[in-house]
Each structure stands twice: as C-alpha cells, then as structure tokens.
Amino acid sequence: MSSQFLYQYLVNPGIVGNPCPSSRTLCCAVARSVLRNNPRLIAEWGAGQGHITRALLSLMQPHQRLVAFELLDIFVRDLKRIADPRLSVIHADLRDTHHYLAELGLQTVDCICSSIPINNYQSTARTDFFQDIKQILQPGGYYIQYAYLWRYHRPLLLRVFPRVETKFVFANFPPAFVYSCTF
C-alpha cells in the first residue's frame, strides 16, 4: 500500500475516497472497458498516483490520447513523472474539463474514465456532474466508472444513461463494480 495515498486519504477522505489505490486487476478491468471501442481521445477523472493511467497507456495504440485530471498536487507530481507523449496531465478540478480541453485545442472526448467518489458529492452537485458528462462526450461516446462494493451505483447511473453494463472485480480492496455507460 502506498503510504502517501493513505496519508492523502486521511487528510482528504471525501476527495480521495479510499485508503489505497486500485489493484492491478481493477486497473486492467477498467482499462479494457475503456479501450474496447477504440476511443481516439480519453479523459481520465481522478487519476491519483496514476495506477489506471499506466494500465491505459500500456494498452493504448500510438494514435490514442489520454488527458488525465487530478485535483491534489502531490498526486499530480507523480503523474507528471510518467513520460509518455500520448498523456497530458491537468492539475485541476474535473468540473473545469471543458476549459482545459479547449486549451489543448480539443472539445469533446470519446470516453471518460472516472475514479471519482461520486457518492461523496451532494445530490445537486451530482446532477451537475452528470449534465457535464453529456456535454463533454462525443455522440456515441461512453462513460466508465468504478465504485466499491457497498456503493452500488447502477440505479444512479441508469437515471442518466439508458444502458449500464456492470462487471464485478473481486481482487481489489474493497471489491468493486466497473460500470460501462452509454447513451
């Protein structure tokens, strides 16, 4: 377990959401779900220390691009150590995604890969969050979110997305669901 991750969780529990980063198995499951439709441009929300980021990069093709958002500067420092021309690291709140995509000359993305602890958002903030997703995704785009066992998000996601596929990953602390959501 990363002591830095644990420390950040103890200091910012509502933001970090879990005392340890995603396991290798969960990272691979998320990365495979993200890449299965060959997205050209991916936004990662809540990249943390880059566990899912690295899993994505290891499976991505040269033409694919990843823009990773992270709020905490200590994690952004870790992310910036990943030397890969397909990756852009943005130190910002995911709610400013539009603004930062525009700075990169981009408008919408094919896929959003989210590790955000959405349960920790108030319900109005959550509604705004989901409205933003619709505007950031290309038509035909999709949203991948994982959530821990005791935070079953499918009913919440079905309020926004007509189709939500669920995969269960046992080998993680805690075990988690990976949701693949499409319009």
Q: Crossing angle, helix 73-80 and helix 3-11, to 10 degrees?
A: 150
Q: Which of 34, 41, 42, 52 binds ligand SAM (CB under 6 A)?
A: 52
Taking the least distance from each CB to ligand SAM, the nearer of 51 and 65 is 51
DSSP characters for 127-175? HHHHHHHHHHEEEEEEEEEEEETT---HHHHHTT-SEEEEEEE-SSSS-
76 part of the interface to ligand SAM, by CB under 6 A? no
64 part of the interface to ligand SAM, by CB under 6 A? no
Cα–Cα distance, 164 to 183 (Å, whole number): 9
Taking the least distance from each CB to ligand SAM, the nearer of 15 and 160 is 15
Taking the least distance from each CB to ligand SAM, the nearer of 139 and 142 is 142
94 part of the interface to ligand SAM, by CB under 6 A? yes
105-164 binders of ligand SAM (CB under 6 A)? 115-117
Cα–Cα distance, 146 to 135 (Å, whole number): 21
Interacting residue ranges for ligand SAM, rule: CB under 6 A:
15-18, 21-22, 45-48, 51-52, 69-72, 75, 93-94, 115-117
